[in-house]
């Protein structure tokens, strides 16, 4: 093997160590007692209290009402992440379809307006968005957690670029065969863009799972807390807090690991 290959592998191993090392330290530390963590700090080997710590983190009541558990927070995070992924991908796909295949007046202008929304950080829109959400009576509700953040300029951009690459002969042949706009979208474009849908769905799922500031602003009920919010409730340096941090990292990590091929294919050669 050439020396350059050894250097490449060494760089990769260093990268793996830098990325995975802190995650393993948190996971190992979460299996120790609070006294051990307070006295000796983070641990580099597993401890004997893993089952007890994770059982408390998942099933022990927290908060002022003692009515919210780690499992409840995980389900709330799952609802938010799945809702984000499905709705954002669906809205982006339909918006791009309308911009490309319908003769929308000023369609290009509207697309650039959508794209320019990327220049505004999400946090800069929270106050006016919260005011509208409050006026609509969506505070402390699941629709209030998801609806204001469903528009995705990134998703619309990727789907538009993909649809522009679809041969025009395909749409003309579908029109000759009597396929209407809905049938053309459902039977041809959606199956063809499946890798793109999978890749963007993964990105949107992770974005929804990691949401923190907006759920804090729009929901004050403990029963609607997410896992990310629960870290501040339980304490990030306690064994249960570290266990909750591990549980919060698991779904995005597992999705990226097991869906890596679909993710890369969707972002690189989604036209196939």
**pLDDT digit string, tens, across residues 227-237:** 888 887 777 67
Work out the number of other CB atoms within 10 angstroms of the CB of residue 232: 12
* Of residues 148, 168, 164, the one with CA closest to residue 156: 164
| Domain 62-268 of CATH type 1.10.3720.10 | yes
Number of neighbours of residue 179 by Cβ within 10 angstroms? 16
Is 108 buried (19+), middle (13-18) or exposed (0-12) by CB count in 10 A?
exposed
Q: What is the pLDDT of residue 271?
A: 45
Q: Does 209 have pLDDT greater than 60?
A: yes
pLDDT score at 4: 62
- The closest of 243, 96, 217, 199 to 149, measured between CA atoms, is 217
What one-character DSSP code corresponds to residue 36?
H
For residue 62, what are the β-bridge partners?
68
Digit-coded pLDDT (tens) for 115-130? 777 777 777 777 888 8
**What pTM value is reported for the model?**
0.82
Q: Which residues of 13-27 are buried (b: 16+ CB within 10 A; e: fewer)?
A: eeeeeeeeeeeeebb
Nearest by Cα to 198 from 253, 268, 148: 268
What is the dihedral angle through the alpha carbons of 192, 198, 200, 201, rounded to the nearest 10 degrees?
A: 130
Instruction: Name the burial class of residue 84, with classes exposed (0-12), middle (13-18) and buried (19+) by CB atoms within 10 angstroms of its CB.
Output: buried
> What pLDDT is stored for residue 3 in this prediction?
61
Mean pLDDT to the nearest integer, 205-209: 88
Higher pLDDT among residues 80 and 151, named by residue: 80
* Confidence band, pLDDT 50/70/90 cuts, at residue 194: confident
DSSP string, 63-117: SSSS-B-HHHHHHHHHHHHHHHHHHHHHHHHHHHHHHHHS--TTHHHHHHHHHHG
Mean pLDDT of the chain: 82
- The string of pLDDT tens digits covering residues 26-63 is 888 888 888 887 787 788 888 888 888 888 888 887 76
């Amino acid at each position: 093997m050439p020396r350059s290959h050894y250097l490449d592998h060494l760089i990769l191993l260093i990268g793996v160590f830098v990325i995975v090392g802190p995650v393993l330290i948190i996971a190992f530390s979460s299996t120790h007692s609070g006294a051990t963590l307070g006295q000796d700090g983070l641990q580099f080997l597993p401890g004997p209290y893993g089952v007890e710590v994770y059982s408390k983190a998942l099933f022990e009541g927290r908060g002022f009402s003692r009515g919210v558990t780690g499992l409840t927070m995980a389900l709330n995070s799952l609802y938010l992440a799945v809702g984000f992924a499905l709705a954002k991908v669906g809205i982006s796909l339909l918006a791009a379809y309308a911009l490309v295949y319908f003769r929308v007046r000023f369609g290009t202008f509207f697309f650039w307006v959508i794209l320019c929304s990327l220049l505004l950080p999400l946090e800069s829109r929270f106050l006016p968005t919260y005011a509208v959400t409050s006026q609509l009576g969506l505070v402390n509700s699941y629709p209030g957690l998801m609806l204001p953040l469903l528009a995705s300029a990134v998703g619309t951009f990727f789907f538009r670029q993909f649809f522009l690459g679809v041969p025009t002969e395909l749409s003309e042949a579908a029109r000759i065969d009597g396929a209407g706009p809905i049938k053309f979208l459902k039977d041809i474009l959606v199956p063809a863009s499946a890798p793109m849908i999978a890749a963007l769905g993964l990105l949107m799922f992770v974005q929804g799972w990691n949401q923190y500031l907006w759920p804090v602003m729009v929901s004050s009920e403990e029963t609607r807390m997410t896992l990310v919010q629960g870290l501040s409730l339980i304490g990030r340096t306690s064994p249960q807090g570290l266990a909750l941090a591990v549980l919060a990292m698991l779904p995005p990590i597992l999705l990226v690991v097991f869906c890596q091929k679909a993710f890369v294919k969707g972002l690189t050669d989604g036209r196939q």
